Amino acid sequence: MEITLIQVVLISLIYALFHGNGGLPPIGMITTMVTPFTFSWLIGAVLGDWKQGLIIGATIQTINMTPVIIGGITTVDLWYSATLVIPLVISYGLDITAAVAIAAPVAVIANFLGQINIIGLFDLVYVPLGDKAAAEGNWKKLLYVSHVLPAVLNTAFKFVVAFMGVYAGTAATSLIINKIPESVMLGFGAAAGLMPAVGFAMFLALIGKMKFLPYFFVGFYLVKFAGLSTIVIGLIGLILGFIYMLNREGMNDSENLIGGN
């Protein structure tokens, strides 16, 4: 199934709005909760299969279970990766496991390019304008310069990048995929099978506390042997977390009481 120009525009707009204007309140607060899992169904809906889009987004999310932002610098751009990979699977019939294997390097490369994008050059304009607005005591102009203008330009830049990737990338990728030997595609599939394991390993390493590991293994074995759904496991996890917080608060109160005596 070929992707139409309107679909490319809509997909690019979804990526730009959900990942390009984090500085624009109140949308900025919403975008902090956006992951490939939460917005991939919209891309799937544009392509006529929202459920498949959601599945692909959730699978891509497992590549990196613990992406963190330090000093405004991210490690991977899973959003852009999902934006390119979902059309490949739904429209061009690429196997999802192979698509996830392709998504991993795309996420790293896209993040690197995003950190050096030309929008950073506009900071040289924002800062003097912001200083001037602050000196004048014009808080409305300062708010516009510090939040609205950067968000609008960054959203426009993200839209162009996504449009170029989806419009040219899908056609070019489809030609490349047809040239890739079947054995190589099988290798991509095998590599993709390791991605979730790597993601979970990074997640466990981030926890870094042995006292939390039993909760992880309880959830794993409940799914593996009891056959419980992820929703049920999530509810059990919330209850256990609530109990843990109550016990910790009780211990702190006891320590404070003893210390006071």
Same domain, residue pair 178 and 75: yes
pLDDT digits (tens, 9 = 90+) for 196-241: 566 566 666 666 667 777 777 887 788 778 877 778 888 888 888 8
pLDDT given at position 63: 66
The pTM for the full model equals 0.61
The confidence score (pLDDT) of residue 165 equals 80
Domain end among 192, 208, 224: 208
Share of residues in the chain with pLDDT > 70 (%):
60
- End position of a domain, from candidates 183, 208, 233: 208
Shared domain for 167 and 235, answered yes or no, is: no
Do the Cβ atoms of 175 and 51 come closer than 8 Å? no
The encoded tokens of residue 97 equal 């496991």
Report the domain count for the chain: 2
62 and 121 inside one domain: yes
Q: Are residues 46 and 154 in the same domain?
A: yes
Percent of the chain exceeding pLDDT 90 equals 3
Q: How confident is the model at residue 161 (pLDDT cuts 50, 70, 90)?
A: confident
Tokens in use for 148?
A: 């609205």
Which 3 state secondary structure label does DSSP give 70? strand
pLDDT of residue 133 exceeding 70, the answer is yes
Same domain, 194 and 239: no
Give residue-wise pLDDT tens across range 103-127: 666 666 666 666 555 555 666 777 7
Residues 51 and 80 in one domain: yes
Q: Is the pLDDT of residue 6 over 80?
A: yes
66-70, 193-197, 212-216: which has the minimum mean pLDDT?
66-70
Together in a domain, 134 and 231: no
Backbone phi and psi for residue 260, each to the nearest 5 degrees, phi listed first = -70, -30
219 lies in the same domain as 98: no
Residues 152 and 34 placed together within one structural domain of the fold:
yes
State the average pLDDT over residues 238-248: 83
- What pLDDT is recorded for position 9? 92
DSSP 8-class letter at 210: G
Task: Work out the average pLDDT over 176-194.
Answer: 63
Q: Are residues 191 and 260 in the same domain?
A: no
Average pLDDT over residues 143-149: 81
Looking at residue 46, its pLDDT comes to: 92
Instruction: Output the CA–CA distances (angstroms, integers) from residue 139 to 19, 78, 124, 143, 212, in the order listed.
Output: 26, 36, 20, 6, 47
Q: How confident is the model at residue 28 (pLDDT cuts 50, 70, 90)?
A: very low
Distance of CA 92 to the CA centre of its chain: 23
- For residues 225 and 165, membership in a common domain is answered with no
SS3 assignment, position 184: helix
Specify whether 180 is located in the same domain as 225.
no
Range of the domain at 193: 5-208
**HSE value, Cβ hemisphere, 13 Å, CA-based, for 213:** 8
